[in-house]
Each structure stands twice: as structure tokens, then as C-alpha cells.
Chains A and B, each alone.
Chain A
């Protein structure tokens, strides 16, 4: 069974440029998560989807961040415009459904904003 796939693995952009990250969850997983992991810190939830509905986006900085999960499968996280402080690893995870089901994490996208 394929795991959570993320692309790109690495991205370097200049500040004020837009950037997008893509995530393909494990087949059949209804719940999808985007996390932000700063250097030396644990992951912090940005947004959670139940199928195609964003049900917890309280930690998403909506002035510059946006996300979508069309058809309840793949998801894209976008930053526009990027700032220096956005340099971090962006993790995607999926689980079968909401609840105490194991979350499976992708390898992440490491973003560097110069």
C-alpha cells in the first residue's frame, strides 16, 4: 500500500513569491491534515479536512495561506506571498476518518524562503 505522497520534497523561493504544495493521501482515507513544522519544534496543525470540507482551519493564517481538497482526495496548500518566516517543513497526513485513528504522515516539503 502506498503511503502519503507529497511534492515537491524541497522548494526554494524568493520572498513575496507564491508557492504550492501537493499531497496525495492514502487511498480511502477520509481525513487529511496539513501541519507546519518549524526547525526544532513539533508539528502544529494548520488545517484538517473531512472529505472535501475544511472542518478545522483555526490555525491557518488566512491572509496568505489557502488550501483546497477537491473531490475529497488530493489536497493543495498555497502561500501567497511567501515571507521569510514561512521557511519550514510542511507535512501532510491522512487517517481513515476522524477520531483516534492513526495518522499517517508524508515525508514533508521543506520550504526555504530567501
Chain B
């Protein structure tokens, strides 16, 4: 079956530091890949996505590139802010068929950014 493995947290950084959260996946076929963010007390929000190999998703200074050869979708940001403190989830979705676009999530990585 499908699975997503992301680096365990918590991750603690100082403001303006570089961020990488690793994510690798196992899936049949050609999944779409997502990063969701959950701020304290709020629901999950889609941060960025990529639907095919070599696509780069980007939003709010965050980027992730769909690497089929390494089955990875690592999240990066060049300079984090205190407001980026949240839990980040990597997820994949099968491209339809019997799985019906079901989302499979990783366990989440808690990021804390200190001023």
C-alpha cells in the first residue's frame, strides 16, 4: 500500500535559518504530492503541491520538488519566520482508479521558530 515517511521532529530553528523537512514516499503508479500545514488551533491547510515528476510546488517562500528517482518531496524554505511555527504534513494522493484519490499522510513534523 501507499505510505509517507517524513523526518521526525520537533525541529527548532532560529529566525532566518534555512529549513528542510525530508519526505519520502512509497506508492504504485504516479501519485500527486502535497505539503499541508497546521497552525495551532486551526485545521490543515494546503501549502503546496506537485502532480508529476520534476514539478516544483511553491507558496509563501516554501518549495518542494517532486523527485521520482528518489521518491522524495522535501520541503525547503530559505529563511524561516516565527510565524512559520506549525506542524507540517507530507501527503500523497493516488491518481484515481480504485483508490479514488485517497490522501495518505505522514506523521507530521513540528517546527518551532524562535526569534
Residues of A at under 8 Å CB distance from B? Answer: 3-4, 40-45, 48, 55-56, 91, 93, 98-100, 102-108
- Chain B residues with CB under 8 Å of A91's CB are 43-44
Instruction: Report whether A42 and B101 are in contact in the complex, using a CB–CB cutoff of 8 Å.
Output: no
Contact call B100/A42, Cβ cutoff below 8 A: no
Chain B residues with Cβ under 8 A from A99's Cβ?
A: 96, 101
Residues of A contacting B: mostly: loop
Tell me whether B43 and A42 are in contact (CB under 8 A): no
- B residues lining the A interface (CB < 8 Å): 4, 32, 36, 41-46, 51, 89, 91, 93, 95-96, 100-103, 105-108
How far is B103's CA from A99's CA once the two chains are assembled, in angstroms?
11
Report which of B43, B45, B108 forms a contact with A40, defined as CB distance below 8 A: B108
In the complex where A56-B100, A98-B100, A100-B32 touch, is A107 in contact with B105 (Cβ < 8 A)?
no
| Closest chain A CB from B9 CB (angstroms) | 10
Query: What is the CA–CA distance of A55 and B98 in the complex, to the nearest angstrom?
Result: 11
CA distance A45 to B94 in the complex (A): 14
Please determine whether A42 and B106 come into contact, CB atoms closer than 8 angstroms.
yes
B42 A107 Cβ-Cβ under 8 A: yes
**Are A108 and B43 neighbours in the complex by a CB distance under 8 Å?**
yes
